[in-house]
Amino acid sequence: MSDLEAQRPPQEADAKTLSVSPVGSQKEGKSSSEDLPSAGAEKDGDTSDQDGKYRVSFTEGDPTNPLNFSKARKWAIVGVCAAAAFNVTCASSMTASAYEGISQAFGVGREVAILSISLFVAGLGLGPSLLGPLSEFFGRRIVYLVSFGAFVLLGFPVAWANNIAVFLIFRFLSGFAGSGFLSISGGTVSDLFEPHELFLPMSIYTCSPFIGPVAGPLISGFINENTTWRWTFWTILIWSAVTWVLLLFFAPETFAPIILCKTARQYRSEKKDGSDQWYAQHERVVAGKSISQSILGNCTKVFKLLSLEPMLLALCIWSALLLGVLYLCFEAFPIIFAGKHNFTLQQTGLSFLGIGVGMVFGIMTMPIWAKKYDEARRTAIERGEKGAPPEARLPIGMAGAILTVIGLLWLAFTTYKSVHWIVPIIASIPFGAGIILSYIAIFTFTVDAFRPVAASAMSANSLVRSCFAAAFPLFADFLYADLGTVGATGLLAGLAALMIPIPILFYKYGPALRARGRFAA
């Protein structure tokens, strides 16, 4: 599912700014009447091999700097990114109500039909490590449009597949293509806001990839009860095409180094008054790299982080268990509600509303948590520190971990047929709130604690998380058949309870653990 990359590359310093249009443009001692894009430039200090070169950087108030976009434009971009993330992740679970149609059409068992979710999620997990580094070379916008365009096109063979092999292969490829967007969209949100402003927009964005899977069975339940199963995938196809158009018109480039590279190329194209001497620092950063080396390096770093950073591994296992349980619910809820309360497909889909409502409630508490974090930041600054420590992100995770266990235990002991169906749905509300609060804590703490390698740390989280989410639905039927609804859901609650100490211990001992780590900040 959705993968967040909340690290913003440092924007190039503007140490000695030469005025550039609309202020003007000139090299030292020489004037020029040529109008050039708004940016700044500084004389390169290394005269041995860069004498006469000028580095492009943002000027104060530069309208091309994403940090200076208007609030309306920033939130419009956040909204489009959230909508696209919702689209991709919703597509992962929309097959949950189409199993019967898939099984009949291709002559396969339910277990094979469940692979349509598992393989899609596996693609989502593999993509960030392989596709994420591409934004360093091409920027975020190009990766958005190409990867999401591929997501749209790969939906055609899924919707019109005439055998199970084609159907499953292209479901995997669709997930892989969709992950290209998810791997960098969190980075877009962080491009737009200063660190102290990031909590609320990142929290809202984080919610969308997790509400998406919850909404999938609800939407497909209505589709599959009233028309054929193929309309599930035709709906995904149409919806994805509309989302791609929104990205085309409303998702500009926000990756600062790429914007500066474009400005430098514009300067050089003028060919007036030595403008061929302009350059952007990022051009030199990527000059000695190849795409294949970057991808291989990123994949290697992911496994190094998982093997050498116990803190990160614990966070990955915590988030993986949460997503695994969420995807297992797509198999468990039909057993609970259709099996014991005779729900139809539509009604079973609606039973997921409890989780969704819980997630929305969790997001509604964000102003409270943001205020607490801001208090911690101000206190740290008063002590002479640069800002709040990463551990200030964890109290929300403590609340989330406890709510998750409460929700699962409540759900477990209300799955009896004699208990009214509304009670387990209400029980899923704290479960949903706990999931979203936990993820916000995990993601924000990971980025803060592993800031030098935040992108790779998030890729590691995505990989482990998606492996669990792909595997859990495959054994759900066997688990509930052997243990029953009470025992199976109670087991999940017990596993979730094992995660409660993680945010508590990291809050208390985090600074010492980070000091011993090789990659932690």
Cα dist from 340 to 224, 337, 361, whole Å: 21, 5, 28
Rounded to the nearest angstrom, the gap between the alpha carbon of residue 436 and the centroid of all alpha carbons in its chain is: 13
| DSSP result, 265-324 | HHHHHH-STTGGGEE-HHHHHHHT--HHHHHHHHHHHHHHHHHH-HHHHHHHHHHHHHHH
Range 218-234 average pLDDT: 94
Map tokens 């509303």 to a residue: 353
Contact yes or no for 435/359 (Cβ under 8 A): yes
138-159 residue pLDDT tens: 889 999 899 999 999 999 999 9
In the chain the domains, ranked by start, together with CATH numbers, are 25-58+255-289 (no CATH), 66-254+292-516 (1.20.1250.20)
User: Which of 305, 514, 214, 254 is CA-nearest to residue 393?
Assistant: 514
Q: Which residues contact 327 (CB under 8 A, 6 or more apart)?
A: 93, 117, 121, 213, 469, 470, 472, 473
- Residue 409: its pLDDT value, please? 97
Q: Tell me the per-residue pLDDT of 404-448, one tens digit each, with 9 for 90 and over.
A: 999 999 999 999 999 999 999 999 999 999 999 999 999 889 988
Residues 1-28: tens digit of each pLDDT: 444 334 444 444 333 333 232 223 333 3
- Which phi and psi angles does 277 have, rounded to 5°? -85, -5
Q: How many CA atoms lie within 13 A of 197 on its CB side?
A: 11
Would you give the DSSP letter of residue 338? I
Element (H or E) spanning 430, and its range? helix 422-449
How far the first Cα of the chain sits from its last, in Å, is 26
Rounded CA separation 307/349 (Å): 40
Q: Which two tokens stand for residue 74?
A: 């920033």
**366-396 per-position pLDDT tens digit:** 889 989 988 998 998 988 888 889 999 999 9
Nearest-5° angle of CA 352, CA 125, CA 442? 70
- Rounded percentage of the chain residues whose pLDDT exceeds 70: 89
* Amino acid 293: pLDDT: 85
DSSP assignment letter at 44: -
Confidence of residue 275 (pLDDT cuts 50, 70, 90): low
Burial (0-12, 13-18, 19+ Cβ within 10 Å), 107: exposed
Rounded to two decimals, what is the model's pTM? Answer: 0.86
Give the E-state strand segments of 74-128 in sequence order: none
Reference 148, options 254, 239, 255; nearest CA is: 239
Report H helices in 193-226: 199-226
CA dihedral defined by 212, 216, 217, 220, rounded to 10 degrees? 160
- Closest to 5 in 3D by CA, of 258, 250, 191, 161: 191
Angstrom distance (rounded) from CA 2 to CA 182:
5
